[in-house]
Amino acid sequence: MGTSNSGSQSTQVLIIGSGPTGLLLAQGLKKSGIKAIVFERYDEDKIASYSRDWNFGLHWGHDSLVAMLPSELADKLKDTQTDPTLEPHDDDTLPFKHGETGDIILRIPTGKFIRYTRSKLLNLLKQGIDLRCGKELTNIRYGDARSVIAEFGDGTAATGQLLVGADGTRSAVRKLLLGPKAEPRRLPYTAVWTQKTGFSREQAIQLRQWNPQHMAGVHPAGMFMFHGMQDVPDLEDPTQWKYFFYISWPSSIEWQDSAKDFTSEQWLAEGRKRASMCCDPWPIDFGSLADDHPMWHIFMSDWDPSAEGCKWDTHDGRVTLAGDAAHSITFQRGQGLNHSLQDVVNLWKEIIACLGPNAYCTQADAIARYEEEMVARTGAETKMCTMNTHMLHDWSKVQQSPVFKRGVARA
Ligand SMILES: Cc1cc2nc3c(=O)[nH]c(=O)nc-3n(C[C@H](O)[C@H](O)[C@H](O)COP(=O)(O)OP(=O)(O)OC[C@H]3O[C@@H](n4cnc5c(N)ncnc54)[C@H](O)[C@@H]3O)c2cc1C
């Protein structure tokens, strides 16, 4: 078995996964002079195109993003917003529509709210870090008292002092640590989503009228809908604006099993059928799509790190999890990335405490401290967001849902 870091003793942190969690952690560690390598399963071409793209809203977690970046990258963050011309304000809101009548039923106060286009943000976060692509983690071994070895599908391996699983909802690291307990819990909801550019000038302007960033809807038939900006390359040319939209609905696990091999055309039909029951903008969104427009779907799931039997062995602080690998949080309350970035800042502090130039504690203690806080914080959030998902898809409970009652404040 070869070693992709040539057995270098200097590599301290092996980060698995080049999503926002892994890349931001690498940026923070680089700033602090700690050598880290990020390993990504996909090859460079695939991650450069990010064809399965979406956007995410940062609100209470935004400071974490800025704190980890060198100033030359932090200065460019604005370019990666869905609409780089927008300035966040303390009185920003997320409007919610009645999905049938189109009335705005609530404007949820969100505080400063910034939406980033995932592909643009990741391309920024990749800059200047040691990223190895085409490296799918398949196994972890523990060497002498201070080392951990990551093994990859291409037959190579890498050695470091700490391995961080930042490999998303279906984390291979989590599976290696917990076996069947690592499996996300399936939830009875399905979402279908896509992005579209090339609306006519008039339509593009009409679609932006309710809010320049985003809008949600709840439908008496139990649907949740979202519509927002994905990219504004030129504010003056609405025909270039790209929109992102989705609809989610209750669907039994049996139905999900029967739909797992649906084609993109079938997912489009599912979306169109439901959009036709809704108020604008969803019939405009889904009605504008060509029959061969690429569609994506999600069978929703969660994973709660505080659930019984989900505590993993850190092997004396040599392995841990962060981001969606550590907690899979449903997305209707927009918390997953905010918590992931909080993980990054907290873990970064603990890595400095045990591996930095002025290290003052053992790795086992530092990782235990990080995990204790992270598991409590994100366990509570996972539960609250799953409850929120149930309530948003049940018309009789929508008004009592966490997002209606608490907005996007963290659990
Ligand atoms: C439609 C949608 C809307 C959302 N909206 C919001 C929002 O408004 N606000 C918010 O806070 N959050 C939101 N989220 C959640 C947010 O996107 C996630 O929390 C965030 O992307 C987690 O980042 P991550 O880096 O932890 O994981 P990921 O982004 O999943 O990255 C994991 C990386 O690991 C790689 N990988 C996986 N397995 C391996 C392996 N074995 N070896 C090597 N590499 C591997 C993957 O290829 C990937 O690059 C939303 C999510 C979705 C789907």
Overall domain count for the chain: 1
Q: Is residue 359, in this structure, part of any structural domain at all?
A: yes
Task: Supply the pLDDT for residue 6.
Answer: 35
Distance 359 CA to ligand 1 centre (A): 31
Task: Supply the pLDDT for residue 22.
Answer: 98
Distance 200 CA to ligand 1 centre (A): 32
CA distance 23 to 157: 20
Distance 168 CA to ligand 1 centre (A): 5
Q: Supply the DSSP string of 70-138, one letter for each residue.
A: -HHHHTTGGGGBSSTT----TT-EEEEEETTT--EEEEEE-SS-EEEEHHHHHHHHTTTS-EE-S--EE
Task: Supply the pLDDT for residue 10.
Answer: 72
Q: Assess whether pLDDT exceeds 70 at residue 191.
A: yes
Mean pLDDT, rounded, for 338-362: 97
Is the shortest distance between the CB of 331 and ligand 1 below 6 Å?
yes
Core vs surface per residue 278-295: b (16+ CB within 10 A) or e: bbbbbebbbebbeeebeb
If one counts every other C-beta atom within 10 angstroms of the C-beta of residue 296, the result is 16
Q: Assess whether pLDDT exceeds 90 at residue 206.
A: yes
Task: Supply the pLDDT for residue 46.
Answer: 76
Distances 258 to 4, 251, 292 between C-alpha atoms, Å: 42, 11, 22
- The domain that holds 343 is classified in CATH as 3.50.50.60
Mean pLDDT, rounded, for 271-275: 98
Q: Find tokens 């898809």 and name the residue.
A: 393
Mean pLDDT, rounded, for 265-286: 97
Closest ligand 1 atom to the C-alpha of 21?
25
The model's pLDDT over 134-185, given as tens digits with 9 standing for 90+, comes to: 999 999 999 887 899 999 999 999 999 999 999 999 999 999 999 999 999 9
Closest ligand 1 atom to the C-alpha of 298?
53
Structural domain range at position 34? 2-58+120-183+304-392
Q: Is residue 256, in this structure, part of any structural domain at all?
A: no
Q: Is residue 156, in this structure, part of any structural domain at all?
A: yes
Q: Is residue 191, in this structure, part of any structural domain at all?
A: no
The model's pLDDT over 37-92, given as tens digits with 9 standing for 90+, comes to: 999 999 987 776 667 889 999 999 999 999 999 999 999 999 999 999 999 999 99
Task: Supply the pLDDT for residue 379.
Answer: 98
